[in-house]
Structure 1
């Protein structure tokens, strides 16, 4: 057998037989059932996203998000409400076993167990079945979690004092001057922790009585009430009188009325 160009290789048992690799078939072989990713499919995705975005923007213009009053770090009586996706955690902190001395349970232990179970889910249920009926552990955990989140979110919204929340955000006093020395030195120190940063209510009532005479306010400040401490002995007679006259002289209005008044003045 000659070497060189005339050599013909017949076969070799040392080389294994192999099939031609399977290649993905072109989309054109399936008319009407598939399409090119770019630009056909991607253009449809962009159009759907643009329609959704425009609709969302129109909704925010027609129904703007309600804003509350300006944040006041001295207003310790204000009770904030978290966003809707955290309401279930907010509600859990109201239960006896997760509040007060057991606050660590509601704030750390219960969320920790939930997120820990989520992280351990691949090891808790390692079945390769894809149908939800054949994966009872994963399905059961998901149904329980969704049920708890749904129920606690609903309960938080159903039993929240929305009237008080609305009053805290809307009631204002047209002549409340935060730069006044009486407000800045006396009221902010002794009153806003319970009655709110703008005296519109917090853990204590809002000061909205229009016929409240200075003598009546002074009696409350001096002697206290069932839920209000007496300030006689803590404040001088002049300070109590100044607070009483300031509170009695407040004129009630709302944010909308105050805004309309400012626009008219301009």
Structure 2
């Protein structure tokens, strides 16, 4: 602003403080001077969440490396009795895939569609729910979706576990980890018995009686071989008992009855053996030989 006609007079430009200068830089707002206000989601809040996630992940990695994973029983592809189960945090998805509308012809909907919608909505939640209100009862849509999701996940998880327990009871199966724990406690109990602290030798497994008997060859041709194995050891982890020592529990007539009528998870095998080429006399000799299997 000039005050006279002098050419060398200093000119002072007075700007309007209400007009903001344009700035293309993305500088996040500072909410520290405003109590009760939140900081910007990107990048401040998100960066803090990532840092906390990194610390938690490192803690999990340390626990994983410090405690070795226990070895299970050798894998048996012929065991059709095992019930596969995912980890607990995936039980709700495991149960969801059992329903008709998310399995079979609709398996893509159950494996890609529903999870994609749920996790996609979770990722987009900060951008869809942009209201300033923080109290959940004043955010009816977001709160309702949250409670419905929690209730659905909890119900599916609990129901899946109950259904698994029902299947175990119905098929008379013992889960592998429980089986291993029982064996561990049994071995500790056997080692600590006697008061002297000395470990007792493990009980020797029953041997096969009369392995050269002609009926042993009949056994190798029968359907019993598929489940109980060539060494008559069975698969206890899958609920298939060993035939070594079976003569201490059942007589020849009882064994014939089991072959004809089945027992527990075992279905009747008499007709299947006849169809395989064995005769009634062969089955009688087989039952007689199995009755001799005593400890």
TM-score, normalised via structure 2 length: 0.47
5+ residue gaps, structure 1, are 1-6, 26-44, 252-266
Contact 2:95/2:157 (8 A) holds in 1: yes
Distance in 1 (CA, whole Å) between partners of 2:126 and 2:104 is: 26
Find the counterpart in structure 2 of residue 199 from structure 1.
235
Distance in 2 (CA, whole Å) between partners of 1:156 and 1:23 is: 47
Deviations 1:23-53, CA, capped at 9 Å, x for gaps: 999xxxxxxxxxxxxxxxxxxx8xx769956
**Which deviates more, 218-227 or 73-82?**
218-227
Distance in 2 (CA, whole Å) between partners of 1:12 and 1:184 is: 108
5+ residue gaps, structure 2, are 1-7, 31-51, 184-203, 209-215
Distance in 2 (CA, whole Å) between partners of 1:218 and 1:153 is: 42
1:21-100 aligned at under 5 Å gives the runs 52=59, 56=63, 61=67, 67-93=71-97, 98=99
Distance in 2 (CA, whole Å) between partners of 1:191 and 1:104 is: 30
Q: Secondary structure at the match of 2:274?
A: coil
Superposed displacement of residue 88, structure 1? 1.9
Find the counterpart in structure 1 of residue 268 from structure 2.
229
Distance in 2 (CA, whole Å) between partners of 1:145 and 1:23 is: 33
Distance in 2 (CA, whole Å) between partners of 1:107 and 1:176 is: 50
Distance in 1 (CA, whole Å) between partners of 2:226 and 2:105 is: 34
Contact 1:87/1:152 (8 A) holds in 2: yes
Deviations 1:132-172, CA, capped at 9 Å, x for gaps: 33432222222111112123223333452487215884499
Distance in 2 (CA, whole Å) between partners of 1:78 and 1:50 is: 32
**Which deviates more, 101-110 or 127-136?**
101-110
Distance in 2 (CA, whole Å) between partners of 1:134 and 1:191 is: 62
Contact 2:206/2:294 (8 A) holds in 1: yes
Distance in 1 (CA, whole Å) between partners of 2:28 and 2:61 is: 42
| RCO comparison, higher one (Cα < 8 Å, 6+) | 1
- Pairing 1:126–2:128 present: yes
Contact 1:168/1:200 (8 A) holds in 2: no
Find the counterpart in structure 1 of residue 175 from structure 2.
165
What is the root-mean-square deviation in Å for CA atoms of aligned residues? 5.7
Distance of aligned partners of 1:129 and 1:169 in 2 relative to their CA distance in 1, 3 Å threshold: same
